[in-house]
A and B are shown apart, each in its own frame.
Chain A
Amino acid sequence: MNRSQLRTILWLRWQLTCNRIRRLGTVNAIVTWAIFAVGCLAALGGSIGGFLLGRFALAKSQPMVLLGVLDMAVFFYIVLWLTSLLVELQRSESIDLTKLLHLSISLWKVLVVNYAVSLFTPGIILTVPALTGLTIGLALARGFRLLLLLPLVLAFVFMVTTWTYSFRGWLSTLIANPRRRRAIIATLTMVMIIAGQIPHLLLNTSWARTRIFAEIKSSETPSRSGKPADTNLADTASPSPSISPTKAVRTTRTASRQTSSLCRIQSHTQFQNMKQISTAKRQVNLTSQLIG
């Protein structure tokens, strides 16, 4: 495929999009172009916002916070991707390679061009510039090693989009039969909605809640009867007449709650945060001295 043919393929794609919008009618065309303009502005804003976020807001944040921000961006991208997948599938305006088989062009190059053009989806337009800005901002704020995030982001995007491209092609062949078309689109929509509800189903249903509460209860039991907390609490249980009994009881309870919760964390996560435990113990001792 020479340059002229490449230009023609791109022109074809552009013309198909323009004509499709034209066919929608004047009002719909205006709305579509307005959405397109807002999308472009959002992409620009996203890239600047991402840069500022990385350069200033996340400059000294914890790695977990960074991870959370990236997870949110990925989640946002996946939601947009799922939506655009369904929309594109129904439009089916991607260039069908079977229509080009008789032309004197290399088909694998058309495939690559078609794939490259298919990357201009709302998900990518909104997410990739923002993540690129974020990466550059982070690299400036925390060191250029963070530029490695950029190939990772691109690899993720290409991984999802190539799979989608292949999946969409397969689905297009399936929905070529109009009888099957509606059933497939309805099933896909339901699958995507249910897939989006999986975290909710796992965490917020009654059986899941019962299970989680049972786990918490079982993890609380040993810490309440555990020796380190209870030994000290036993010592501090009797209030001294030198201070107000109510105050002493309240202080003791607070200290015991801290110790108990720390023990719980310890039993849950197996982390030995001895410093915090010793601080809490010191508080208990201090309270007992005050009481004494």
Chain B
Amino acid sequence: MRNPATARAVKRRIGVVPENLALFDNLTAREYLTFIGQMYGLALPTVLDRTNELLAMMGFEADEKKLVIEHSHGMRKKLTLAAALIHNPSLLFLDEPFEGVDAVSSRVLRDTLKQCVDRGATILLTSHVLEIVERLWPHVGIIVKGKLVEQDSMDCIRQNGSLEERFLKVVGADRVTPQKLSWLE
């Protein structure tokens, strides 16, 4: 990976949804996807075809002329995911892809990711929404204060309870008695 050429070759097989989304505010969704596709070295006709499909799937067709800055947070998340998928990567890094996303969009995202997994791609996803993780992923790692403290398959975790219980146990939050508000007692 120290060799820049190797690093670039590896990056060509990776799709990323970064925390800050890395979008350009003054571009439309179509322009952004075209830009990303071209930067990954795809041929222009391929880029245009895939862009059309992605825009239709993510529901951007009605707001073709809207700039990124004018879209909601959920739409931006979807656009970033679309950009991460345009070059058909075999490894996806997704940082909180479901955060701030409405139920309909969340469903679309989940289906798309499932399709990627079925096709053989590997997805590394971080999320605080444990239900989604439990429902979608076969392997789970728990990170506490920046350190990976637990890693197991979902089947093994389910044998001893839910993912939430396991998470609270690993973090040590199960021993803490939650403070109650006096005026709600």
Interface residues of A (CB under 8 A from B): 2, 4-5, 8, 11-12, 15-16, 19-20, 23, 93, 95, 98-106
The residue of chain B having its C-beta at the shortest distance from the C-beta of A9 within the complex is: B39
Interface of A is mostly: helix
B8-23 interface code vs A (CB 8 A; 1 in, 0 out) = 1101101010101011
In the complex, 22 of the A-B residue pairs with CB atoms within 8 angstroms, ordered by the A residue number, are A4-B38, A5-B39, A8-B39, A12-B24, A12-B35, A15-B35, A16-B26, A19-B28, A19-B67, A20-B26, A99-B22, A99-B24, A100-B22, A100-B39, A102-B11, A102-B14, A102-B16, A102-B18, A103-B39, A104-B8, A104-B39, A104-B41
Interface of B is mostly: mixed
Residues in A with CB closer than 8 Å to B16 are 102
A235 to B41, CA, bound (A): 95
- Chain A-chain B contacts (Cβ-Cβ < 8 Å), number: 58
Decide if A106 touches B12 in the complex (CB within 8 Å). Answer: no
The residue of chain B having its C-beta at the shortest distance from the C-beta of A15 within the complex is: B31
- Tell whether B113 is near chain A: CB-to-CB under 8 Å: no
A117 to B99, CA, bound (A): 36
Residues in A with CB closer than 8 Å to B67 are 19, 23
Known: A5-B38, A20-B26. 14 other contacts (CB 8 A): A4-B38, A8-B38, A11-B35, A15-B26, A16-B26, A23-B26, A23-B67, A99-B23, A102-B14, A103-B11, A104-B9, A104-B11, A105-B39, A106-B4
Give the interface centre of A4, A23, A101, A104 by most chain B CB atoms within 10 Å: A104
A102 to B17, CA, bound (A): 9
B182 CB to closest chain A CB (Å) equals 35
A149 CB to closest chain B CB (Å) equals 39
B55 CB to closest chain A CB (Å) equals 17
A2 to B26, CA, bound (A): 25
The residue of chain B having its C-beta at the shortest distance from the C-beta of A110 within the complex is: B39
